[in-house]
Structure 1
Amino acid sequence: MKISEFSVRVLSPTFLTSGICNVIANSWHGIVPSEYSRRFRIVRPYTMMSNARLRALHDATARVIAAGVPGVLVECGTAKGGSAAMMALVVHECRSDKRIWVFDCFEGMPPPTENDPDRDLAANYVGDCLGTFEEVSALFAELGVSDRMRMVKGLFQETLPPSSTGDIALLHIDGDWYDSVMSCLTSLYDRVPPGGIIQLDDYGYWQGARKAVNDFFKLRGEPVPALKRIDHSGRQFTKAPRSLQQTPG
């Protein structure tokens, strides 16, 4: 089969809605590596995520689409919008009807608090990772994905609780500080159905982000899920059925 013929078959509506698409998603690295590379080149100027974390987010998007996990995609902390754009490109090219919610203050990183063990160091990064609402909106428009995006401006503590996302198939948390990550988990974790994927950008880097995750599950009386290591900083896990989330015994 010629490559061009293969591409036509892969992009056909019949193929994309079949179970075979799931096989493709699970074998993404070996079958269509060029697709990630092409999308990476598009979004690279607009993200500071490592290649490994961006690839993990890319593949997680494909997996929840192929598996039919109900719900939207949510990114908490988008900076210049590159990682959200990556998710949107996958959604668009998989011909999925999923929408992407993007939460950010669009004013750079807020100050850490006393809940962050490495507060003195973290304070040096206040205002970093700045992408304005207008800049990110313009990126989505340039890529032709604006109709899939819902942008919400403000601090997570104020915008997440009243948000009407419904179910969340993929939750990407890039909040850096304790209070931000805790707000994301407190407000959104229960909206992720079994089979949904949660990616934590800063678990292995910022002490506050790691402490927030550990404290969140401790307060729920549940063990921290088995976190898949993406790289030195990123972690990812798939939400288990509720019966498997409780502490044994």
Structure 2
Amino acid sequence: MTDTKTTADDLREYYLDLIKRSLTGALAEDNDSILGGVRMQGAKSMKKRAANAVAKAAGRLDLEISYKKPYDPAARESGQDWPARAESMIGLKRMTNIQDCIAAVIKDGVPGDLIETGVWRGGATIFMKANLKAWGDTTRKVWVADSFEGLPAPDSSRYPADSGDELYTQTGLAVGLETVKNNFRRYDVLDDHVEFLVGWFKDTLPVAPLGDLALMRLDGDMYESTIQAIEVLYPKLSPGGFCIIDDFGSHASQAGQAIHDYRKQHGITEEIVQIDEFGAYWRKTF
């Protein structure tokens, strides 16, 4: 006779698997192309600008114009597409990396809070909080740091690696604070242990009342956003904690180079582990 008893570990896995598939749009196979949606906002081409204008007019009538596109599970696994409606675009592998890192710091008793710098619709930080909830951890905070206005225009004089970057023109990357808070509420994970840091990293991170960190996840794409975050946060990362870089591979000449420069300057030698083609992490040992 087979023992089919469901354990607490099983329930935790089921819950977190469902949450991450919902947050990434994998559960609903979200791959609609929406007229005027996040993929088009801020586009310079006349065709896409016209599409945005039509979508805006339709929106005034509470209408949405979209068409179905084939869902690619492999692309969603590695976060190489951009879901129209989901709360996260990082894909399942990078979500699972968050899950594994949190499990490790809890099991090993690594002290500190969790933070992400650059949150878009809040998906990764919602998942962080869901993981803490699943483990019954009521002491750690999740810090949600973002301008909530998109990315900054490049400061090429100080950060030449960002020269010519046009991410600041992609208004689909700008998601307001109240929208992100509401996404937390929808997943029932918004409480007084979720803290929002609103503004550019150079202004908010140096003065934020942060203590020890067990996990830091940097998703700023640019050299400027990445170096400003790691300079403040890495000294607060506890031994045994994890440093995750979402854009290490996808923006190798910007976010990736900022990481290499910081590690070289501070003699950091822990192995960088690739998660997928875009993201990477390492575990701090000292």
What residue in structure 2 maps to residue 68 of structure 1? Answer: 109
What residue in structure 2 maps to residue 187 of structure 1? Answer: 232
What residue in structure 2 maps to residue 22 of structure 1? Answer: none
Give the alignment partner of residue 107 of structure 1, picking from 149, 160, 185: 149
Structure 1 stretches of 4+ with a deviation exceeding 4 A read 8-11
The number of equivalent residue pairs is 218
What residue in structure 2 maps to residue 175 of structure 1? Answer: 220
- The alignment partner of 1:75 has SS state of strand
1:43 lines up with 2:84 in the alignment = no
1:226 lines up with 2:268 in the alignment = no
Give the alignment partner of residue 247 of structure 2, picking from 202, 207, 210: 202
- Do 2:205 and 2:229's aligned partners in 1 also have CA atoms closer than 8 Å? yes
Q: Displacement, 1:133?
A: 0.1
TM-score, normalised via structure 1 length: 0.81
The 10-residue stretch of structure 1 (46-55 or 183-192) with the greater mean CA deviation from structure 2: 46-55
- The alignment partner of 2:173 has SS state of coil
Letter in 2 for 1:123: E
CA distance in 2, matches of 1:74, 1:198: 10
- The alignment partner of 1:89 has SS state of helix
CA distance in 1, matches of 2:238, 2:116: 16
Unmatched runs of 5 consecutive residues or more in structure 2: 25-85
- Do 1:76 and 1:175's aligned partners in 2 also have CA atoms closer than 8 Å? yes
CA distance in 2, matches of 1:9, 1:89: 14
Q: Displacement, 1:40?
A: 1.5
- The alignment partner of 2:116 has SS state of strand
What residue in structure 1 maps to residue 280 of structure 2? Answer: 235
What residue in structure 1 maps to residue 180 of structure 2? Answer: 136
- The alignment partner of 1:194 has SS state of strand
TM-score, normalised via structure 2 length: 0.71
- Do 1:81 and 1:131's aligned partners in 2 also have CA atoms closer than 8 Å? no
Q: Displacement, 1:42?
A: 2.8
The structure-2 alpha-carbon separation of the partners of 1:219 and 1:139, relative to structure 1 and needing over 3 Å to count, comes to same
Mapping for residues 52-91 of structure 1, pairs under 5 Å: 52-91=93-132
Unmatched runs of 5 consecutive residues or more in structure 1: 12-27, 242-249
Q: Displacement, 1:224?
A: 4.5
- Do 1:182 and 1:212's aligned partners in 2 also have CA atoms closer than 8 Å? yes
- Do 2:16 and 2:131's aligned partners in 1 also have CA atoms closer than 8 Å? no
Bigger helix share: 1
CA distance in 2, matches of 1:10, 1:56: 18
The 10-residue stretch of structure 1 (184-193 or 123-132) with the greater mean CA deviation from structure 2: 123-132
How much is the aligned-residue C-alpha RMSD, in angstroms?
2.0
Letter in 2 for 1:69: V
Q: Displacement, 1:109?
A: 1.9
- Do 1:116 and 1:177's aligned partners in 2 also have CA atoms closer than 8 Å? no
Letter in 1 for 2:173: C
- Do 1:52 and 1:230's aligned partners in 2 also have CA atoms closer than 8 Å? yes
Q: Displacement, 1:118?
A: 5.6
CA distance in 1, matches of 2:230, 2:279: 16
Identity of aligned residues (%): 29
Letter in 2 for 1:135: T
Q: Displacement, 1:190?
A: 0.5
The 10-residue stretch of structure 1 (72-81 or 45-54) with the greater mean CA deviation from structure 2: 45-54
What residue in structure 1 maps to residue 6 of structure 2? Answer: 6
- Do 1:103 and 1:151's aligned partners in 2 also have CA atoms closer than 8 Å? yes
The structure-2 alpha-carbon separation of the partners of 1:125 and 1:149, relative to structure 1 and needing over 3 Å to count, comes to same
Larger Rg: 2
- Do 2:162 and 2:223's aligned partners in 1 also have CA atoms closer than 8 Å? no
CA distance in 1, matches of 2:9, 2:175: 38
- Do 2:94 and 2:276's aligned partners in 1 also have CA atoms closer than 8 Å? yes
Q: Displacement, 1:67?
A: 1.5
Residue-by-residue CA offset, 1:112-145 (whole Å, 9 max, x unaligned): 332253632x315533422210000011122221
